[in-house]
Amino acid sequence: MGYIENNLMTGEKVLYRTYLHWFVFGWAIFWSILALFLFIVKFEIGGYISLVFFFIAFISELITFKTSEFGLTDKRVLMKVGFIKRNSVEILLKKVEGIQIDQSIFGRIFDYGTIIISGTGGLKSPFHKIASPLKFRKEIQEQISKI
C-alpha cells in the first residue's frame, strides 16, 4: 500500500492517479550515452567515470520515481515526492483556488510538466515532471465542479 492508500479518510475513494514521467531519468540517460560515446572513441577512463555517474544518477532517480505518488480522491488532491526527504501536499478540493501547468517544449512533446496547485491561504506547491499534467488538471477540475 502506498502513501495515498494509507492516508485516505473514512469513505474516501481514489478517482485518478498519475506518476512521474520517465523523463525523470534524463541525467541517467545522458551519462549512459556519454559513457557509450567515450568507450567508442577509446577514452576508457572517461567511460568508466561516466558509468559511475550513470549508476549514481540512475539509483537516485529510480528512488524518486518509485516513491512519488499523485492522486485525486473524491475529497482531496494528494501529492508526495521523496523517500527520506519527503515533500507532500494534501489539499481539500473545496480549498483549491487554481491549478497551473508549466511545460517546456520537451514537456509538450513528451507529455510531462510541472503542476502547481494554489490553495487558500497562498499555498503554492510545484511538483515537477509529472506525466500527463493536463489530464491530471482536467480530472481535478471535473471533481471540483461536482462539489
Segment 82-131, tens digit of pLDDT: 888 888 888 999 999 889 999 999 999 999 999 999 888 777 878 899 99
The DSSP H or E segment spanning 118 is strand 112-119
Specify whether the CB–CB gap between 143 and 72 falls below 8 A: yes
Segment 6-40, tens digit of pLDDT: 888 899 999 999 999 999 999 999 999 999 999 99
Segment 50-82, tens digit of pLDDT: 999 999 999 999 999 999 999 999 999 999 988
DSSP β-bridge partners for residue 87: 81
Specify whether the CB–CB gap between 90 and 9 falls below 8 A: no
Q: How far is Cα 102 from Cα 128, in angstroms, rounded to an integer?
A: 9
**pLDDT value, residue 147:** 78
Q: Which of 137, 99, 140 is nearest to 119 (CA)?
A: 99
Rg (CA), the chain: 18
pTM: 0.82
Q: How far is Cα 100 from Cα 96, in angstroms, rounded to an integer?
A: 11
| Architecture of the domain spanning 12-21+71-145 | Roll (2.30)
**pLDDT value, residue 21:** 94
Domain boundaries, the chain: 12-21+71-145, 24-63
